[in-house]
Amino acid sequence: MNHPIEQIRLTQYAHGGGCGCKIAPAVLSQILAELPQIIPHPDLLVGTETGDDAAVYRINDTQAIVATTDFFTPIVDDAFDFGRIAATNAISDIYAMGATPLFALALVGMPINKLPLETIQQILAGGASVCKTAAIPIAGGHSIDTPEPIYGLVVLGLIHPDKIKRNSAAQPGDVLILGKALGVGILSAALKKDELGADGYQQMIRTTTQLNTVGTALADLAEVHALTDVTGFGLAGHLLEICRGSQLSAELRFDDLPILSAALPLAQAGLGTGASERNWQGYGKQVDLPADLPEWKKKLLTDPQTSGGLLVACAPDAADAVLAMFRQQGFGDAAKIGVMRAGEARVRVV
């Protein structure tokens, strides 16, 4: 307990970091395949059927509760920043359903005999600061002593049942819009190797702590047909979830993808994450790549995004309005990146 807070490197206490420590898609599918089917309930509007971002339970004709949880090990060394990132990431699932967050519960697992209490306090303070920005209280939680630092939130939100944005309702011809630039996983890998400069770190913190508040506004647009957030399975993985749920294919234009400027040279130099390769092993057979696509581009498609951007499928005539909504709320990297097509559930990269 004698170490000053500034000497504590949280990432050294974790085998993975952020959404990169999620169970690989293929392994998760095997685990879930053996579980019994959920008994249908008329008021459970969204469950586990399509791997959506949150569960939704109807209370009455005008109100439904949206519930989610998310937690992970440190993606950065700074305790306050780790708390901020984890909280932002957890709240994102509420926005990805189009809902308004109501309150949160903290999930805390800490190696009590390894970390100074001040460091743990800073993690919790970081999470609380984000909840304050989102105008929600942390109303309680649960804590245990664990080998690795773990922090996250249970978040509850509210939405009108008719305005729920699922990941399974895209339509042929829908334009795909991505709200944040890619490359968080690559930046986190560089950080762990002491190869990330100050500018890269600031880019990483700026994007991972930006709340996806635009999701609540998107709920009011009937032309927004499907919505999700891009996290640990990477852009290709979460787009595939839209394809499977909607029984459609997607055409993705790589050159239109927004990429964090600090991550681009690192990716081109071959830096990537183990989670990126696990993602590809899990769903790569459903992704069609150009024969000459460089390996670094494939890594960006599967790069695990912690607190990533919203992915929207909307009617073509609403695409400019949706893009304008993103930019009005400070998402300067938001871009049109592809289109939904009729056909088998696959992603084709062009």
Whether the Cβ atoms of residue 107 and residue 151 lie closer than 8 Å to each other: yes
Whether the Cβ atoms of residue 54 and residue 94 lie closer than 8 Å to each other: yes
Q: Which two structure tokens, joined as six digits, stand for 180? A: 């944040």
Residue 129 — left, alpha, or beta (φ > 0 → left; ψ -120 to 50 → alpha)? Answer: alpha
Distance between CA atoms of residues 96 and 229, nearest Å: 6
Bridge partners of residue 69, in order along the sequence: 154
Label residues 112-145 b or e (16+ Cβ within 10 Å = b).
eeebbeebbebbbebbbebbeebebebeebeeee
Q: Starting at the earlier edge strand, list the strands of the sheet with 287-288.
A: 224-229, 310-314, 175-178, 335-341, 249-252, 347-349, 287-288
Distance between CA atoms of residues 254 and 262, nearest Å: 18
Whether the Cβ atoms of residue 234 and residue 302 lie closer than 8 Å to each other: yes
Whether the Cβ atoms of residue 200 and residue 284 lie closer than 8 Å to each other: no
Whether the Cβ atoms of residue 165 and residue 223 lie closer than 8 Å to each other: no
Q: Which two structure tokens, joined as six digits, stand for 5? A: 């807070």
Q: Which two structure tokens, joined as six digits, stand for 326? A: 């993103």
At 114 the three-state DSSP class reads coil
Annotated catalytic residue: which of 19, 21, 131, 243?
19
Helices 117-133 and 79-96: crossing angle, nearest 10°?
Answer: 30
Q: Is 19 a residue of the active site?
A: yes
Distance between CA atoms of residues 87 and 83, nearest Å: 6
Q: Give catalytic residue positions.
A: 19
